[in-house]
Structure 1
């Protein structure tokens, strides 16, 4: 007999609305608190958003990121990002690295004196190192990056809402957008609370969280729509509970396996990707919670039609019978 791992029994009858005032009300309170934390404490923007200087190095010796970082850290220059550049055209004697140092207080870019001190420090780690270029990113460009990041998240959220509206009903679309706001706001709030570095990699994580969260929410919504057709006289509250219980095993298995990989990366991945992985880990947990406790609560509060065989002329449900 084949072995099957079951984290959740095949049939569960959990009442997810039993503590509705605590779960849904608590979610609203946490979202509000996260927004206030972001406004009053601010985010600890990284080089991408604060501006800084990028130094490109080249050496016949392999790039030792740890040695480079250890050589520069005594200078006390704050946020620093060191990455090795890989290119198939590079020969074995061409090892290139990019060193990004944040702009110092009151300056658009680091001064020539500081650049020389960085070069001197790196030469102690690798005497054969050469410096091929120095480029600075000022506050204006950083401000444009912040605006672009906001636009990217907004555009992704809008596209998701339109899809849900076409696939289901406007009540489902509103439930989905509330869940997405919940996930993004709490994730950003945690970064503001603990002043974790916030850079472009975190924006990538937030966009990934949007896709992951909506995927889980759509699974619950799809089962709810099937149950609305199947049980026309059953109260909507009971159908919401039934739908979540029927998809609970899938939700737990998907989130659990994703978290295993993320936690491994969080522990073993190193400093370069730790912020991205932390945001993803937090987003998976919060996104799973919102799919179960937030999105369906909004649908229950707004109500929805029960006869899906008659598409409404005011919504996009003409696409409701198309497989996702």
Structure 2
């Protein structure tokens, strides 16, 4: 017996309240933009600068115990992560302690480092500190610029790909939906003031890939149906296409969310920000694939010549299919 989340004969009218969905998206984007403009992002150590201290111990790493030991020092933003490597010996336990720059200084004072080492040795008196390195504000600024460039290049490459595979209306609709997803993800991090670091940039790029995959599945079915139903109104073709791919969309999103929720609950503090971004991104990406991208395509329209009997009618680049 095959599990079906959506019946084969489903005929939901996704455009009955298209203006409402687009209005909700515009309001959420405006809130995200205002939040970012007023309070900005709560940048982590990667973007603020700070010091990384590598610890090595024969005692298994206990992140909570490390945090409790360092809490009295009031060091501000603190990140502790266990380092795993198959080359480590069985009794070799390594962690990376990252501390934000103190009052704009590039390096933490030597006295402060000594206090940190003393505090951590209360957890394990035999703890060693193989390396200590600092990231200054200049390097952090370069990381921000590189992160922005990475997201921009990813979106630009997707725009070119969709334009070649379909038509420019599909490309514009898909990219605007992607920008919608990215802006809302950044907005919720700004609104909730969750730490924003390089892991979140990785999550943003993953969200872009996930969202465009969903959108391309829908658009591919739209193109097929444009060829198949040449006399149907574009709105009807879009509705039909979304309904036909709805089961696949919900199944993919649902199974992905199951894994992400498990990671969010059981994965610990180290990856919680990344996983939260992914959960939000999957939800928003699914929403935008169904309601935003298709609604934008309906607004932009797709040029079709009804007089032609060419099976590729409805797409300029149908011959590129494999």
Please give the range of the TM-score, normalised by the shorter of the 2 chains. over 0.9
| Residue aligning to 1:280 | 278
In the TM superposition, what is the alpha-carbon distance from 1:320 to its structure 2 partner? Answer: 4.6
In the TM superposition, what is the alpha-carbon distance from 1:170 to its structure 2 partner? Answer: 0.3
Q: Kindly provide the CA deviation profile for residues 209-248 of structure 1, in whole angstroms up to 9, marking residues without a partner as x.
A: 0000000000110011011111111111111111111111
Match for residue 148 of structure 2 among 150, 166, 175: 150
* Structure 1 segment 227-306 matched on structure 2, within 5 A: 227-306=225-304
| Residue aligning to 1:106 | 104
Q: Kindly provide the CA deviation profile for residues 63-113 of structure 1, in whole angstroms up to 9, marking residues without a partner as x.
A: 222221221122221211122223333333433221111112232232222
Match for residue 183 of structure 2 among 185, 195, 202: 185
CA contact (8 A) 1:171 1:303 kept: yes
* TM-score under structure 2 length normalisation: 0.94
Deviates further, 86-95 or 124-133:
86-95
Q: Matched residues in 2 for 1:58 and 1:239: separation?
A: 61
Q: Which runs of no fewer than 5 residues in structure 2 stay unpaired?
A: none
Q: Matched residues in 1 for 2:291 and 2:125: separation?
A: 58
Q: Which runs of no fewer than 5 residues in structure 1 stay unpaired?
A: none
| Residue aligning to 2:321 | 322
Deviates further, 12-21 or 54-63:
54-63
* Structure 1 segment 14-33 matched on structure 2, within 5 A: 14-33=12-31
CA contact (8 A) 2:167 2:317 kept: no
Q: Matched residues in 1 for 2:290 and 2:302: separation?
A: 18
CA contact (8 A) 1:229 1:306 kept: no
Q: Matched residues in 2 for 1:59 and 1:21: separation?
A: 59
Match for residue 117 of structure 1 among 115, 118, 137: 115
| Residue aligning to 1:172 | 170
Cα RMSD (Å) of the superposition?
1.9
| Residue aligning to 1:62 | 60
In the TM superposition, what is the alpha-carbon distance from 1:9 to its structure 2 partner? Answer: 1.4
In the TM superposition, what is the alpha-carbon distance from 1:321 to its structure 2 partner? Answer: 3.9
Q: Matched residues in 2 for 1:185 and 1:25: separation?
A: 15
The answer as to 2:214 corresponding to 1:225 is: no
| Residue aligning to 1:139 | 137
CA contact (8 A) 1:78 1:102 kept: yes
Q: Matched residues in 1 for 2:91 and 2:245: separation?
A: 55
Q: Matched residues in 1 for 2:96 and 2:137: separation?
A: 20
Deviates further, 81-90 or 229-238:
81-90
Cα distance, 1:151–1:319 mapped onto 2, change above 3 Å: farther
| SS state at 1:124 partner | coil
